[in-house]
Chains A and B, each alone.
Chain A
Amino acid sequence: MAENKPITKNVDWMVVLIYIACLGIGWVNIYAAVYNPEVNMSMFDLSNNAGKQLMWIGTAALLIICILVIDYKFYETFSFIIYAVIVFLLVVVLFAGSNINGSRSWIKFGAFSLQPAEFSKLAISLAISKYLSDPAISLTRKLKDYYPIMGIIALPAFLILLSNETGSMLVFASFAIVLYREGMPGFIPSIGIVTAALLIITLLFVKWYIAGVIIVIAGLAIWLMPVMTRRRGGLWATIIIAFVMIGIVFGVDFFMNNVLQKHQRGRIMVLLDPDSDPRGIGWNVIQSKIAIGSGGFTGKGFLQGTQTKFDFVPEQSTDFIFCTVGEEHGFIGSAVVVVLFVSLIARLVVLAERQRSRFARVYGYCVAGIIFFHFMVNIGMTIGLMPVIGIPLPFFSYGGSSLWSFSILLFVFLKIDAQRPFTLSRG
């Protein structure tokens, strides 16, 4: 027992409790999602997803113990090696992987399958953290310091793209958060957000109106600008920004029709107007909104959901698990889940900020960013605020790979955080 003590000592219990709560709620809802009133089935039966998920939870617990036992320095020391191993697995899967749902990204072990792409998030996080732990690297001043980071992200992204798992690749956008925290100029994420916003506004309103509004805003900005700022180039900067924005507005058509593939275009159009294709891509969005909306304030009750039960909502136990929560537990249940996630992510940011080493802080931000991105895209998709991108809801969705990868991701950080007092005491 004495040996166990240091393992759990100083682990942040708030995060652990939220983690357990998410797993518990998730498991119960997976059972509800696959529950069939005509067949008497058990939550513990390995033939259904709920039983399997319980097995994954058990193995995740073993993994967590291993992570806590291993010395914290291991992760920093072996960052690049872990990265290399996972990149190697991504290559292997391209040639030897099993084909599930059109993407060749699974490694099968009997009845269970693992998806190396899920673990690329861990690999990239560790590699970026390790790279940025060098105090000489500055993201504020030197452009060339970005190149290795681009490389670290691009290699697995390229391999994942080859295996047709676009959703997992998009998650890498979440690294923008950590880069911003470490000094990336604020205008870069701003440009990203403004471009995305313009894209959507353009699809909703008449282009000439938007152009007019942009010109009016630019004119007001110049008029209100202090004279000094205007003389120092503020005038021309504003004019150029306005022109670029108008350019984006008129470029959207070109982008939509020539750059995006047909199904990607469909997903964006459906986000704006699900009824444009009610039996096709819009189906998922409409059905999931109906399921969640029909839950009302308190929900229909455990196992009483009908939209999710009778196969109206696709991928009920994986990507659309939140529909079951919304339908059976109503607004109260949904709000609890949202609050759990926001608390978890906020807590992770707080933990990251208290780290002494840059490695630990960067890694903490990576974990928070990845979980946040999954949360935002997955729930956003079920309530019609995000395009349909097939990524799981962390700790909730059925699936061993995602549960394992998120558990490892999270507990590696908790382990590093738990050692913080010792690093401090050693000076």
Chain B
Amino acid sequence: MLESRRFVIIGFFALVGIIYLLRLFYLQVLDESYSIESSSNSIKRVIEIPFRGQIYDRTGKLIVYNTPVYDLLVTPYKARVDDTLRFCQVLGIERRDFDSLMNAASAYSRVKPSLFLRQLSKEDFASIQDIMVDYSGFEFAKSSLRTYTAPTLANTLGYVSEITKGQLEKQEEPYYRQSDYIGQSGIEKIYENELRGKRGTKFVMQNVSGVYKGPWKGGELDTMAVAGANLYSGIDLEVQQYADSLMVNKVGSVVAIEPKTGQIISMVSAPTYDPNILASRYFSKNYAALARNPYKPLFNRPVMASYRPGSTFKLIQALIGLQEGVITPESGFTHANCPVGCHNHPATGTVALGVMHSCNPYFYNVFRRIIYKNNIQNTFKASAVGLDAWHDAISKFGIGQRLGIDLPSEYKGNLPNKKYYDRFYGEYRWKFSNIYSLSIGEGELLITPLKMANVAAIIANRGYFYTPHVIHGIGDGKKVNPEFLVRHDTGVESHNFDPVIEGMIGAVEGGTARRSRVEGITIAGKTGTSQNKRGDDHSIFIAFAPVENPKIAIAVFVENAGAGGSAAAPIANLIIEKYLTRKITNKALEERMFKADLMSKVILPGQKKPISADSLKKKLISADSMKKKPVVKPITAPKKQ
């Protein structure tokens, strides 16, 4: 019957109604892609990126700050450029740059703004702002650039760059988004969470043409951006730059520590570069040039490079010997029956004289006594037990382990123990005669300049140290990392330092470092000559001053520069004088060290002889040349203050 068709009809109506209800439920409740944040185009989420924290030196001088710059963004579907020629002229770009930038932007999104030109300076922004009004679809976004007051501390401070894809995927809490900036090395990396501050979010309403229509819900969902915390460092910018100039044309490191606190006063990694060049639009080009440079300027030598400590290590041997009671301050040794050679020097009847003249047989005998102190009959067993005891004592100086400085990639070096030699020789198959070169800091020992500076600080403090650190205060309250307030004791009693320090004073006054002594300041120092497979010995010097009330402990490493007294000692003593008195008495010495080109003595891996050192500078776009470009061209580096 036809009447029954009403059920078909009502059923059809109801079916459509149910389908629509399900669809609405899906669209409005289940499908997240239409929620406010992800898809609504009337409510725009504006991210406010706060200024990164600034970094100060120990005298309150600014080291790193932020310069406001402007990024030019383009929204391709809105973009109208009628006279491309003028447009390109204004921005100082080529026609093909324009095309490729536009294509890249369109490929990303036709409707969302994407980056067109990065980091225009305030001056450039001011000069082109009015002209850009003629071109729709272009807008400016404020951003900021890391700026360095002095062209120094590049590796210590590190650099900031766009987050990499890998970092983006690896982050545990999703904080960063594509094209965000993140500290990539040095202080910028270690203190990233403090420096970055807190990003703010604003929800603003806009109409279909993108015109601002006020805050959404009266701003109740907005969060304020919080600027990053300022960092306070122990760096002395003046001394730092002075040390930089002394290390010009040299490969090596300078590390100066304030012994009483562990604060780093100066840290030079030579060769270095102006950190401003990595905080510019030319980041990738400059980074590539630095990475390709054979002298590895990006390699942070003070904490990553390792050397044999050479004779500087004798100080620790003497201290351990005294503490273990195997020698007394009056112990004397002769050159007789000793497999290590020595130079011609007066008799070494005391520890002080041994240190002063850096007598190799003296410390061979000291080390021998330390190893065989246990009186075990079997020399193999005695050597094994003795070495481990020695290893434990030396470890307390921070050698063979990470000190925990606030810089990334600290190398722990190498301090051999029984297990280490067992791997080469087999258990109880080696004895003292196989390892005696450790006695004078050669052999399998590897140590970083930072650790050697720390050893100088330990001696200056007569037995303890604080973890060396660059940053001692965070934020306005100058919050201190509690780990940097822990005193580490070496277990060597204070009176045992007296003969060693006496010997160190002697070394500077009349011993191996006498040519660089400073009038009026008592410096205790020790030279080292580190043997290595490539080229001349590395020149090493550690010292602290003034002896009466030590204010600075320093280690200087100059690669392939020969004996410790020839390069490292003069540089260290000039830095000490600069730091303590702010002036230099021995101008001739200073001049000689400024000019010394020791880089040309460095033989690079894979090379038979040294190559010209100038290659470093050629491929870089320097901060100065960035400044000289015409104003209209948006490539100016921010002005230095």
Residues of A in contact with B (beta carbons under 8 Å apart): 37-38, 140, 177, 180-183, 186, 278-279, 287, 289-290, 292-297, 304, 306-307, 309-312, 326, 330-331, 334-335, 338-339, 341-342, 345-346, 349, 353, 365, 368, 372, 376, 379-380, 383-385
- Say whether B42 contacts A309, CB under 8 Å: yes
- Say whether A294 contacts B35, CB under 8 Å: yes
Q: Which residues of A contact B24 (CB under 8 A)?
A: 292, 326, 331, 334-335, 338, 383
Decide yes or no whether B40 CB sits under 8 A from chain A: yes
Q: Which residues of B contact A290 (CB under 8 A)?
A: 34, 39-41
CB distance from B625 to the nearest CB of A (A): 44
Q: Which of A37, A353, A376 sits near B3, CB closer than 8 Å?
A: A353
Q: Which residues of A contact B28 (CB under 8 A)?
A: 292-293, 295-297, 326, 330-331, 334
Q: Which residues of A contact B2 (CB under 8 A)?
A: 140, 181-183
Q: Chain B: which residue is nearest A326 at the CB level? A: B28
- Say whether A342 contacts B13, CB under 8 Å: yes
Binds A, one of B91-99, B154-162, B206-214: B206-214
13 more A-B residue pairs beyond the given contacts A304-B217, A372-B16, with a C-beta to C-beta distance below 8 A: A278-B111, A290-B40, A294-B34, A294-B40, A306-B42, A326-B24, A331-B25, A342-B13, A342-B17, A345-B13, A349-B10, A383-B20, A385-B19
CB distance from A317 to the nearest CB of B (A): 16
- Say whether A310 contacts B34, CB under 8 Å: no
Q: Which of A38, A279, A295, A338 sits near B110, CB closer than 8 Å?
A: A279
Docked CA distance A331–B29 (Å): 7
CB distance from B188 to the nearest CB of A (A): 39
- Say whether A311 contacts B208, CB under 8 Å: yes
Docked CA distance A331–B22 (Å): 10
Q: Which of B9, B31, B39, B213 sits near A349, CB closer than 8 Å?
A: B9
- Say whether B216 contacts A346, CB under 8 Å: no
Decide yes or no whether B33 CB sits under 8 A from chain A: yes
- Say whether B21 contacts A293, CB under 8 Å: no
- Say whether B205 contacts A310, CB under 8 Å: yes
Docked CA distance A372–B208 (Å): 33
Decide yes or no whether B455 CB sits under 8 A from chain A: no
Decide yes or no whether B36 CB sits under 8 A from chain A: yes
CB distance from A233 to the nearest CB of B (A): 26
Decide yes or no whether B618 CB sits under 8 A from chain A: no
Given contacts A335-B24, A338-B20, contact A372 B213 (CB under 8 A): no
Q: Chain A: which residue is nearest B7 at the CB level? A: A349
Q: Which residues of A contact B142 (CB under 8 A)?
A: none
Docked CA distance A339–B18 (Å): 9
Q: Which residues of B contact A383 (CB under 8 A)?
A: 20, 23-24, 27
Mind listing 29 A-B residue pairs with CB under 8 Å? Answer: A37-B213, A140-B2, A186-B8, A289-B34, A290-B39, A292-B24, A292-B27, A293-B31, A293-B34, A293-B39, A294-B35, A294-B36, A294-B39, A294-B40, A296-B28, A296-B29, A306-B40, A310-B206, A312-B41, A326-B27, A342-B13, A346-B13, A346-B14, A365-B9, A368-B13, A379-B20, A380-B20, A385-B19, A385-B20
Given contacts A293-B28, A296-B35, A331-B29, contact A339 B17 (CB under 8 A): yes
Decide yes or no whether B628 CB sits under 8 A from chain A: no
Q: Which residues of B contact A183 (CB under 8 A)?
A: 2
Docked CA distance A372–B16 (Å): 9
- Say whether A293 contacts B27, CB under 8 Å: yes
Decide yes or no whether B265 CB sits under 8 A from chain A: no
Q: Which of A177, A331, A335, A380 sits near B9, CB closer than 8 Å?
A: A177
Q: Which residues of B contact A372 (CB under 8 A)?
A: 13, 16
Considering the complex, which residues of chain B in the window 342-394 have a beta carbon less than 8 Å from any beta carbon of chain A?
none
Docked CA distance A112–B366 (Å): 112
Docked CA distance A183–B35 (Å): 48
Q: Which residues of A contact B35 (CB under 8 A)?
A: 293-294, 296
CB distance from B129 to the nearest CB of A (A): 27
Q: Chain B: which residue is nearest A335 at the CB level? A: B21
CB distance from A69 to the nearest CB of B (A): 31
- Say whether B39 contacts A353, CB under 8 Å: no
Q: Which residues of B contact A349 (CB under 8 A)?
A: 6, 9-10, 13
Interface of A is mostly: helix
Decide yes or no whether B423 CB sits under 8 A from chain A: no
- Say whether A293 contacts B33, CB under 8 Å: yes
- Say whether A338 contacts B21, CB under 8 Å: yes
Q: Which residues of B contact A345 (CB under 8 A)?
A: 13
Q: Which residues of A contact B77 (CB under 8 A)?
A: 279
Decide yes or no whether B504 CB sits under 8 A from chain A: no
Docked CA distance A401–B13 (Å): 25
Given contacts A292-B27, A296-B28, contact A306 B16 (CB under 8 A): no
Docked CA distance A322–B583 (Å): 82
Given contacts A290-B34, A294-B34, contact A353 B6 (CB under 8 A): yes
Q: Which of B5, B21, B217 sits near A180, CB closer than 8 Å?
A: B5
Docked CA distance A17–B10 (Å): 21
Q: Which 8 A-B pairs have the closest CB atoms?
A: A293-B34, A310-B207, A342-B17, A306-B42, A331-B28, A311-B208, A293-B27, A310-B42
Q: Which residues of B contact A353 (CB under 8 A)?
A: 3, 6
Decide yes or no whether B43 CB sits under 8 A from chain A: yes
Q: Chain A: which residue is nearest B110 at the CB level? A: A279
Docked CA distance A310–B214 (Å): 12
- Say whether B29 contacts A297, CB under 8 Å: yes
Docked CA distance A38–B207 (Å): 12
CB distance from B374 to the nearest CB of A (A): 78
Given contacts A290-B41, A338-B20, A341-B17, contact A279 B111 (CB under 8 A): yes
Q: Chain B: which residue is nearest A287 at the CB level? A: B41
Q: Chain A: which residue is nearest B216 at the CB level? A: A306
- Say whether A310 contacts B216, CB under 8 Å: no
CB distance from B45 to the nearest CB of A (A): 13
CB distance from A279 to the nearest CB of B (A): 6
Given contacts A279-B77, A331-B24, A342-B14, contact A181 B5 (CB under 8 A): yes
Docked CA distance A342–B213 (Å): 38
Q: Which residues of B contact A279 (CB under 8 A)?
A: 77, 110-111
Q: Which of B17, B27, B43, B111 sits near A306, CB closer than 8 Å?
A: B43
Most B Cβ at <10 Å: residue of A186, A294, A304: A294
- Say whether B208 contacts A310, CB under 8 Å: yes
Docked CA distance A296–B35 (Å): 7
CB distance from B262 to the nearest CB of A (A): 56
Q: Which residues of A contact B29 (CB under 8 A)?
A: 296-297, 331
Most A Cβ at <10 Å: residue of B5, B42, B213: B42
Docked CA distance A383–B31 (Å): 13
CB distance from B23 to the nearest CB of A (A): 5
Q: Which residues of A contact B40 (CB under 8 A)?
A: 290, 294, 306-307
Docked CA distance A338–B13 (Å): 11
CB distance from A223 to the nearest CB of B (A): 28
Q: Which residues of A contact B208 (CB under 8 A)?
A: 310-312
CB distance from B7 to the nearest CB of A (A): 10
Docked CA distance A296–B31 (Å): 9
Q: Which residues of B contact A342 (CB under 8 A)?
A: 13-14, 17
Docked CA distance A279–B20 (Å): 26
Most B Cβ at <10 Å: residue of A297, A310, A312, A330: A310
Q: Chain B: which residue is nearest A314 at the CB level? A: B208
Q: Which of B23, B27, B213 sits near A310, CB closer than 8 Å?
A: B213
CB distance from B3 to the nearest CB of A (A): 7
Q: Which residues of B contact A339 (CB under 8 A)?
A: 17, 21
Q: Which residues of B contact A37 (CB under 8 A)?
A: 213-214
- Say whether A312 contacts B42, CB under 8 Å: yes
Q: Chain A: which residue is nearest B214 at the CB level? A: A37
Q: Chain A: which residue is nearest B203 at the CB level? A: A306
Q: Chain A: which residue is nearest B32 at the CB level? A: A293
- Say whether A306 contacts B205, CB under 8 Å: yes
CB distance from A277 to the nearest CB of B (A): 12
CB distance from A426 to the nearest CB of B (A): 24
CB distance from B133 to the nearest CB of A (A): 23
Docked CA distance A144–B354 (Å): 130
Docked CA distance A380–B19 (Å): 10
Docked CA distance A331–B206 (Å): 24
